[in-house]
Amino acid sequence: MLNDKRLRFIVGHYASGKTEFSINYAIKLVEMGKKVALVDLDVVNLYFRSREKKEFLEKLGIKVIASSVNASAVDIPAISAEVFTPMQDTSYEAVIDVGGDPDGARALGRYKDYIVEGDYDMFYVLNANRPETQTAEKAVEYLRKIEDTARARVTGLINNTHMLKSTTVEDVLKGQEVALEVSKMTNIPIKYISVIEKIAKDLPDNLEGEVFPITLYMREDWMI
């Protein structure tokens, strides 16, 4: 994680699990003693956005930057000017949670000047249990469309294939096959295998990519 670039953009297909990964990643960074900013650039989703966890994350010492309009139920694509802070202030380690699909990635265009080849990482979150990214061909198509809109290249893949709280090792391994195929087709390495804690230890240890155990912060007790 510490070898990742200072600016980490998290992109992917709609509802692939970007927000859960972003939150977990930011928490791990702050636990390592880093100065962390989590930027919620999601102008596509209206429910289950990382800004809903703002209070919890700020208690942990993470700076959360989201809409310039301070209301949980805002339905307008208003992004705070404060997003520039972690882009410009190099003392920050930044995790930028981008909205789903090419539509969501459009918000990145504004920050083109800061997305300099070699200075950033852009992680593509892949969930092979989502109908639109079940095959490598479809997943690559999405990846390329997001790159085109974002005007930036993906630097790493994250296999985040899950079935929520009932994820099995088989789900992860099925996703790993798709991710390997995507990796072969695009020459982009698999950086992480993001998986709920309880099954992380059951994964075989020869997989490409670092196993990244996550806690589901966005799922309430009563959700499956």
Closest CA to 139 of 160, 108, 118, 120: 160
Q: Report the distance separating Cα 214 and Cα 1, nearest Å.
A: 14
Sequence-distant (≥ 6) Cβ neighbours of residue 131 within 8 angstroms: none
Count of CA atoms in the C-beta half-sphere (13 A) of 202: 12
Sign of the Cα pseudo-torsion (38, 188, 185, 149, in order)? positive
User: Least separation, in Å, of the C-beta of 145 and other proteins?
Assistant: 13
Q: Which residue, 75 or 205, is less far from other proteins as judged by CB?
A: 75
Binding residues vs other proteins (CB under 8 A): 14-15, 46-48, 72-73, 75, 127, 129-131, 134, 162-164, 166, 220-224
Q: Which residue, 2 or 71, is less far from other proteins as judged by CB?
A: 71
Beta bridge partners of 7: 94, 120
User: Least separation, in Å, of the C-beta of 72 and other proteins?
Assistant: 7
User: Least separation, in Å, of the C-beta of 1 and other proteins?
Assistant: 26
Closest CA to 179 of 208, 214, 145: 208
User: Least separation, in Å, of the C-beta of 46 and other proteins?
Assistant: 6
Q: Report the distance separating Cα 22 and Cα 91, nearest Å.
A: 19
Q: Report the distance separating Cα 23 and Cα 38, nearest Å.
A: 8
User: Least separation, in Å, of the C-beta of 63 and other proteins?
Assistant: 25
Q: Which residue, 24 or 127, is less far from other proteins as judged by CB?
A: 127
Q: Which residue, 93 or 171, is less far from other proteins as judged by CB?
A: 171
Q: Which residue, 85 or 134, is less far from other proteins as judged by CB?
A: 134
User: Least separation, in Å, of the C-beta of 160 and other proteins?
Assistant: 11
Q: Which residue, 163 or 211, is less far from other proteins as judged by CB?
A: 163
Sequence-distant (≥ 6) Cβ neighbours of residue 176 within 8 angstroms: 159, 161, 190, 193, 207, 208
